[in-house]
Structure 1
Amino acid sequence: MHPIVKPALRRGWRDLDTVQFGMAPAHAMVLGPMDTATAGFLDLLDGTRGLPLLREQGRGMGLPEERVDELVDRLARSGLLDDATGGGPAADALREKRDVLDRLRPDLASLSLFSRDPGDAIRRLATRRSQRVQVRGAGRVGVVLASLLAGAGVGEVEVRDVGCVEPWDVAPGGLPADSVGERREDAARRATRRAAPDRPPRMSAERKQKERERARGTEPERAPALALVVLAPRDGVAVHAPDPAAAEPLIASGTPHLYAGVVEGTGVVGPLVLPGETACAGCLDQGRADRDPTWPRMVAQWRSGPSQRVPACDLALAAGVAGLAAGHVLAFLDGELPSSAGARWEASIPGFDWHARPVRGHAACPCGAGAKDEGERPSEDAGPHETMAGQQPYAARPSGTWRAHV
């Protein structure tokens, strides 16, 4: 282990023997009381020294070996330390790609803020490179979202859509103006590749052989399983009232999926559906029908009526939806449970006030989430900032500044 105080946290002295790492209350930590030798020892924790050298230099500063080990252990358990050499083989492989890692250093620093174990941040970042995400929809939301995921280090990001790029599909960070008239999938693929720090890792020879043996020479090699699918339709009706039938194959295969898009002047992110665990589009549809008997009639008219040639999709709102959805996808890929699990986050122009609307599992929906949700969550009328029982908060860490005694 080569301990390093997390570089993402700025340091400042509150008084002569109390030091604070971090500015924002969500991740800041206060250490104290701090004697002169201990304060000097913190400067040695820069990732260039292993424990044997730290013990040796600690002795020269008047710190016994036991005190050095105790300090490193306490700082590691408090979440302040990272390991400059940790994370496992995949992390080592990423470190060898210096140009790629330099592109991803801001993301690595961000991951370190909630990854408590030393070396866990780069392990998570390296794990992203082996994951496959599919985005269904190549409009103002979908392509920007896909580019964000690729730029954040997700190894394989596919975009699926039909038709050709229209002028109103163009967006900063998404489809460029010179792609108008091209096939949406082709243009989206190029935009996503441009955003990625490098090409996705290739399938190993051993894995290829296993795939060939499994297929017995009669089937093509299979791609890695989808970690998540994002449904980002260009059609506002499909955003406001997602068709449960469209997600039936995802429910049947147990594939997690997230809804995101813009309907008229409202941006929507969620729900994140974990099949059998959290509410799906069918639960959302049946819950609305229970509260509003006219809902099925309205949805039928919206779906069968003539579509708008150019749907309303505010550019800033679409960018906000893409950014929030990408954040929830990355949190899920990194092993966290984002707040869109069992909820829809919505914001409307011109206020851009994001608020959550809980989506409960419905007992009549065959997805199975209704049985789990029964009695666990408040009604749809709950306030936007109320925590839903049984759901992890988006940032599963205590708010406020931590204090550790050294």
Structure 2
Amino acid sequence: MCGWYDDGGSTMHPMLKPALRRAWRDRATVQFGITPAQAVVVSPVDPATGHFLELLDGTQGLPILYERARALDMTPERVDELLARLTAAGVVDDPTASGPAADVLRGRADTAERLRPDLASLSLIHPEPGDAARTLGARRAIRVQVRGAGRVGATIAAVLSGAGVGRVDVLDGGVARPGDVAPGGLPERAVGERRSTAAGRLVRDAAPGGPPRQGRGAEPDALRLIVAAPREALDVYAPNEADAEEWVGAGIPHLYAGVVEATGVVGPLVLPGGTGCAGCLSLGRTERDPGWPRLLAQWRSGRQRRAATPACDLALATAVAGLAAAHALAFLDGDLPETTGSRWEVSLPRLDWRSTPIEPHRDCFCGAVGNTRGERASAAVGPHDTMAR
């Protein structure tokens, strides 16, 4: 039995990943992918192997491929060796290898077509055959809560829903105002409507094929992540510690995002008990600047709030929302993005992103002192004599 058969005896359908463009460096060297992060070089490639690569489109199982390879004077063993090397390099996928959650998506043509670019992207960072489809399918069983329905929060919610997250709840008070309207966020027709109602409709409209239905095997599970995207600028820069204590106590990971004055903020992503939280941020800032609590109390006074005109540049808010959504999806898909235990800031007009670690504080309620953010999972391919990234 050749190496690409699974334990059940059925065959896989190897496919060169459509997201990786293929080009010949010379007559005997093929490069898959454009960027250094993805590029794989295969050499030497003889004419027979070059012709065989054209057959790897996911429509043919191994028995047929073996037969067609024989016409090219390639043995099954040689085919297995080539496929094993290409698979190890993250170049090969299998459209039939997925699982129940991905099968649900595959059975809904409209949803699958909407998410095809997302699937192609996931195939580049989840290298094993079928991993991308499983990851995308698993998103439909995820529940996320977004706190805030302004320019940043509503856009984050729409992106998460559009990317296949099964349930996105948006919490906010009051009614939408003209300044809340944003491309990708609340539309102009939402002005005067309750923010939570308008955001709920936005999320439903963004969902590919509509939200998961009961009985389809993809009902969202327990709350996996809270994204705090408050409209109040101070709550972006100095997050509410009472909320943080509640979320840490419940063991709910949470990510902060928003705009304060002319600065966009993404992070930290807080892993309860593992990384620095809003309490750590406050304690550390007070140690560095003893006058900070006095300033904060004045800024939070009712008089100051009423007199303030919120600054929220539309392009900056959109950039913050996109980055926050991308970090949230990376976490939900099983990775640890760079905002884990760290805050990223970008300021107009130069837009230079900078990162500041949020160190766990010894006096904080979260108990994260002594813990680390952990190691990011790596799928790097080691060096090979005829294949290199």
TM-score normalised by L of structure 1? 0.88
The one-letter code of the counterpart of 1:273 is: V
1:332-352 deviation digits (Å, cap 9, x = unpaired):
111111000011010011111
Give yes or no for the alignment of 1:233 onto 2:244.
Answer: no
Q: 1:65, CA displacement in angstroms? A: 0.8
Residue pair 1:30, 1:403 contacting (<8 A) in 2 also: no
Q: Which of 278, 285, 294 is residue 281 of structure 1 equivalent to?
A: 278
The alignment of Structure 1 onto Structure 2 pairs a total of residues equal to: 374
Matching of residue 58 in structure 1 with residue 69 in structure 2: yes
Question: Which residue of 147, 164, 172 corresponds with 1:153?
Answer: 164
Who is 1:315 aligned against? 314
Give the match for residue 9 of structure 2.
none
**Contact residue 104 and residue 216 of structure 2 kept, 8 A:** no
Q: Distance in 2 between matches of 1:405 and 1:197?
A: 41
Partner Cα distance (2:144, 2:309) in 1: 28
Q: Distance in 2 between matches of 1:158 and 1:149?
A: 11
Q: Give per-residue Cα distances to partners, 1:306-359, cap 9 Å, x unaligned.
A: 215540000000000000000000101111110000110100111111111111
Aligned residue among 87, 97, 117 for 1:106 = 117
Secondary structure (helix, strand or coil) at the match of 1:371 reads coil
Please list, as runs of the form range in 1=range in 2, the aligned pairs for 1:327-338 lying within 5 A after superposition. Answer: 327-338=326-337
* Residue 36 (1) aligns with residue 47 (2): yes
Aligned-residue offset at 1:297: 1.4
* More displaced stretch, 160-169 vs 288-297: 288-297
Measured on the aligned residues, the alpha-carbon RMSD in Å equals 2.0
Q: Structure 2 counterpart of 1:229, which letter? A: I
- Structure 2 partner of 1:195: 206
Find the partner of 1:244 among 237, 241, 244. 241
Contact 1:256-1:273 at 8 Å conserved across structures? yes
Correspondence for 2:6:
none
Paired residues of 1:232 and 1:239 also in contact (CA < 8 A): yes
1:131-210 equivalences in 2 (<5 Å):
131-204=142-215
Rate the CA distance shift 1:239–1:206 in 2: closer, same or farther, 3 A.
Answer: closer
Match of 1:301 in 2: 298
2:289 corresponds to which residue? Answer: 292
Secondary structure at the counterpart of residue 23 of structure 1: coil
SS class of match (2:360): coil
The runs of at least 4 consecutive aligned structure 1 residues that moved more than 3 Å come to 203-208, 389-393, 396-399, 401-404
CA contact (8 A) 1:29 1:403 kept: no
CA contact (8 A) 2:234 2:300 kept: yes
CA contact 1:30–1:404 (8 Å) conserved in 2: no
Q: Matched residues in 2 for 1:234 and 1:364: separation?
A: 29
Q: Give the Å deviation of 1:371.
A: 2.0
Give the secondary-structure state (helix, strand or coil) at the position aligned to 1:289: helix
Q: Is the contact between residue 245 and residue 365 of structure 2 (CA under 8 Å) also seen in structure 1?
A: no
Provide the secondary structure at the position in 1 that maps to 2:115.
Answer: helix
3-state secondary structure, aligned to 1:228: strand
Structure 1 residues 142 and 247 mapped into 2: Cα distance closer, same or farther (>3 Å)?
Answer: same
Distance 2:323 2:379 in 1: 19
2:255 maps to 258
Q: Following superposition of structure 1 onto structure 2, how do residues 69-84 of structure 1 map, counting pairs within 5 Å?
A: 69-84=80-95
For the 8 Å contact 1:131–1:154, the answer to whether it is kept is yes
Structure 1: segments with no counterpart, 5+ residues: 209-222, 374-388
Which segment is superposed worse, 295-304 or 320-329?
295-304
**In terms of mean alpha carbon deviation, does 348-357 or 191-200 score higher?**
191-200
* 234 and 339 in structure 1: CA distance in 2 versus 1, 3 angstrom threshold: same
Q: Which amino acid aligns with 1:167?
A: P
- Name the SS of the counterpart of 1:49 in structure 2: coil
